[in-house]
Structure 1
Amino acid sequence: MDGLDRAVAVLRGRVETAEKELRDLKAQLAQAEQLAQDARSKENSNGPWKWPLEAGEYERYGRQMILPGFGVQGQVQLKNARVLIVGAGGLGCPAAAYLAGAGVGTIGIVDGDTVEASNLHRQIAHTTSRLGTTKAYSLYCYLHDLNPLPEYKLYEEHLAPQNAERIVSQYDVVLDCTDNPATRYLISDICVLLGKPLVSASALRTDGQLIVLNCPPAPQGSKGGPCYRCVFPQPPPPASILSCGEGGVLGPAVGTMGVLQAGEAIKIIIRGHHVPYSTDAYPTPDALPSPTLLLFSSPLSGPPSLRAVRMRSRRADCYACSGSSVLTLESLSDGSGMDYVQFCGGLPSPESTLSAEERVSASDYAATIRSVTKDHLLLDVREPEHFGIAAIDGAVNVPFSQWKQSINVEEDGGQVRPEWLPPTLRDDAPIYVVCRVGNDSQVATRRLKEMGIDGGGKRFIGDIRGGMRAWKEEVDKSMPFT
């Protein structure tokens, strides 16, 4: 298999090289054709070219230029605008596509991840042929094929305090298309410090939310749009954060939010709200736009819905945008002001949750425990949808989220045997817990012991290290894993 894998890798590399050469040739051809068309139009005109846009741009963007309130001036504003998209995933792909299609002059793309097969159902700019390439480059390929006229700038890295000022300072409007709290706070903070309006969105399962922040921008302590910290002063507890890998996400739901982000960015550009706050633009504090949080839901059963919730203005005690803020560009870049990962609860460290004696590897469980320890229980704590896709033979599915309903307590404080615990299982028979990647199973193991299921140490309770991912890698490579 190693020889075949190497052959596949070599062929894939050759295909990628050929495809890149072809893309470059197509790009050169498109640019040459555009230049030739513009030259012919000018040559056939009566005198010097006197229009603010090139001939091809009138043809390409004409359907939006005839919109009331948009016009040629709006198109010129888009052409002169610079928009940064942080995150080239489910939100960033549709947002970037509509901004490129609309003719935004410069589009920056920040993302250090690579394209995986699990991205493709919702991250519509990426393709099977670009698996393994960086998302920033893959999105660029899609956008350039869609519209070669804008300038695309790629940052194949993650946004961090050390590079945030260098990247964000070059743009007029920022779109937060990321999926983790630490980066959201960082993006908001740098936008406050640099005076950039921010369009932020998120999506999970079939729901999404969107809010325009720091718009209009204003110096710290001045009246302006609220920042992310004004709306969410404290991050959610790490244990409450559900990723799309665990909770799932519907492609059209996250796509809808990305499209809405593009629409808000276009409105900011053509309305001129990205200029610094001034009393001329907004004569009174009452004239400031009222910030709203847009909530979207598209349940699998029932019609979709959109609801706008009015949000508060800037907080007087906000860490980032208030007059008492100590946040500066220097403190952000050198790390002396805010540790974003620590602020959001730190990185998960599942290895420290259980001791080594409380954990077994997937291969050990398959080779020894399943074959030797006949009287035991394998408890799968994933959600039913994950369990229904693939499970280990003999596993009992008890989703961790439902345990409070699954444990009954007698009125006198004594504990009743849980309904999911097989009545034929001996009181000292061990219980092994498995989840998706080995995080929830550790929490579940600890919780089982807290509930007294181990009989005060009489019964062994432990988890399978690495979860179903490890099972696929070590035991059954044919098992589907999502």
Structure 2
Amino acid sequence: MSLPPLVEPAADLTRDEVNRYSRHLIIPDVGMTGQKRLKNAKVLVVGAGGLGSPALMYLAAAGVGTLGIIDFDIVDESNLQRQIIHRQATLGLPKAESAAATVREINPLIEIVVHNTALDRDNVLEIFAQYDLIVDGTDNFATRYMVNDAAVLLGKPYVWGSIYRFDGQASVFWAEHGPCYRCLYPEPPPPGMVPSCAEGGVLGVLCASIGSIQVNEAIKLLAGIGEPLVGRLMIYDALEMTYRSVKVRKDPECPLCGENATITELLEDYEAFCGAVSVEAADAAQDSTITVQELKAWQDADEKIFLIDVREPNEYEIVSIPGATLIPKGEFLNGNALEKLPQDRKIVLHCKSGVRSAEALAVVKQAGFADAVHVGGGVLAWVRQIDPSLPSY
């Protein structure tokens, strides 16, 4: 369905703006009025990562007058494979600042607002209130639900995107005209069910495919042209090169935007709601987590330990902690790994960051290995704190 323009047009365009945006101006559906609306628009991009990179660059090039960037992370070398807004020269800098510098080079005629902070329940409403439209480029469920809830509570539309390996999704959520994210996904998936891009990987160019779709939808909403993805979920398969659209209906029982909504303010703890780590894993890891320094000391002292890497084989090929035996987490969950565990050595588990090893630790402890432990921070901590000569990923 067509929707009215989200913003009013600016008073005029300067000569420089007319020259810059001329290819928009000669499109009848955009024209001078549509470009003036873009100039008058205020758009916030949440996350300057894989999706945020192309989104910020194309929103800037399109002439969105005020562009907000919120991100609290720093630029890491592993980002450069897909986060094209960052450069070798900005390694170690805050992502929000790095992104702002690139965007200013793309279009000096627009205003850039940098929010170099973590988005949380204490600041999300205040920050969102400053903008007409939100573009969600986040990569974790806790932030996605918080973005959705804040947008619904403020009555603002937002453009959502998601990527994983070769698959991408995109939609527009606007409770005033259609469903919200909770209508599509009422509950987050169980912990560990959906790996993050950091764990499962993502084809770099997929970010551009989905990020550009997000910008396309943003422009349509701001200018009031075309039929935005409200009430539709676009699914893209890069390997098969297929696009398909699925209808998403507003859930009358949705606790946030339904007829008898029970959620009238932000949740106290979105991490707890999404269960970043299962209760069983958290319980198992309590008082059974060691540091990489402790692991190194045990190895140097030739302690009787059995070090297990619960990542996937392709991750193990990239980098591994010396002396580790590879047994993927899936073998612990189906029980096949238990017969491989020695009875005369202390079981020490690790993964990339500590999440998957905590889940495997819960299984091991339930099987009777009461003194088993896992390594907090995993391979990433080992590379940073013990052997920086090893590659990171």
Other structure's SS at 2:84 match: coil
- Residue in structure 2 matching 1:400, options 321, 329, 351: 329
Counterpart amino acid of residue 353 in structure 1:
A
Provide structure 2 residue ranges, at least 5 long, that are not aligned to the other structure: 1-10
Report 1 or 2 for greater relative contact order, CA contacts < 8 Å, sequence distance ≥ 6: 2
**100 and 205 in structure 1: CA distance in 2 versus 1, 3 angstrom threshold:** same
Q: Distance in 2 between matches of 1:289 and 1:201?
A: 11
- Residue in structure 2 matching 1:95, options 39, 55, 65: 55
TM-score, scaled relative to structure 1: 0.71
What per-residue deviation string (whole Å, max 9, x for no partner) do you get for residues 331-375 of structure 1?
A: 44xxxx65333322267797752364x55544444444466357x
1:301-316 paired onto structure 2 within 5 Å: 303-312=240-249, 314-316=250-252
**Map of 2:92 onto structure 1:** 132
1:371-450 paired onto structure 2 within 5 Å: 372-373=302-303, 377-403=306-332, 407=336, 418=339, 421=340, 427-450=343-366
Q: Which structure has the bigger radius of gyration?
A: 1
**Map of 1:354 onto structure 2:** 285
Q: How many matched pairs?
A: 382
- Residue in structure 2 matching 1:242, options 195, 216, 234: 195
**Map of 1:156 onto structure 2:** 116
Q: Distance in 1 between matches of 2:32 and 2:296?
A: 68
Identity percentage over the alignment? 39
- Residue in structure 2 matching 1:257, options 210, 230, 248: 210
**Map of 1:169 onto structure 2:** 129
Provide structure 1 residue ranges, at least 5 long, that are not aligned to the other structure: 1-50, 219-223, 274-286, 409-416
Aligned residues: CA RMSD: 3.0
Contact 1:377 1:430 survives alignment (8 Å): yes
Contact 1:431 1:462 survives alignment (8 Å): yes
User: 1:298 aligned to 2:238?
Assistant: yes
Q: Distance in 2 between matches of 1:181 and 1:361?
A: 27
**326 and 406 in structure 1: CA distance in 2 versus 1, 3 angstrom threshold:** closer
TM-score, scaled relative to structure 2: 0.86
Other structure's SS at 1:242 match: coil
Q: Distance in 1 between matches of 2:300 and 2:37?
A: 67
**355 and 78 in structure 1: CA distance in 2 versus 1, 3 angstrom threshold:** closer
Q: Distance in 2 between matches of 1:474 and 1:78?
A: 47
- Residue in structure 1 matching 2:374, options 463, 474, 477: 463
User: 1:323 aligned to 2:323?
Assistant: no
1:212-291 paired onto structure 2 within 5 Å: 212-214=172-174, 218=176, 224-271=177-224, 291=231
Q: Distance in 2 between matches of 1:143 and 1:398?
A: 44
- TM-superposed deviation, 1:144: 0.9
- TM-superposed deviation, 1:467: 2.4
Q: Distance in 1 between matches of 2:133 and 2:272?
A: 28
Contact 1:253 1:297 survives alignment (8 Å): no
What per-residue deviation string (whole Å, max 9, x for no partner) do you get for residues 216-254 of structure 1?
A: x52xxxxx2111111111122233242222112221112
Other structure's SS at 1:209 match: strand
**404 and 183 in structure 1: CA distance in 2 versus 1, 3 angstrom threshold:** closer
What per-residue deviation string (whole Å, max 9, x for no partner) do you get for residues 49-89 of structure 1?
A: xx943222222111222224222222122112221211111
**Map of 2:43 onto structure 1:** 83
**476 and 76 in structure 1: CA distance in 2 versus 1, 3 angstrom threshold:** closer
**481 and 352 in structure 1: CA distance in 2 versus 1, 3 angstrom threshold:** farther
Other structure's SS at 2:257 match: coil
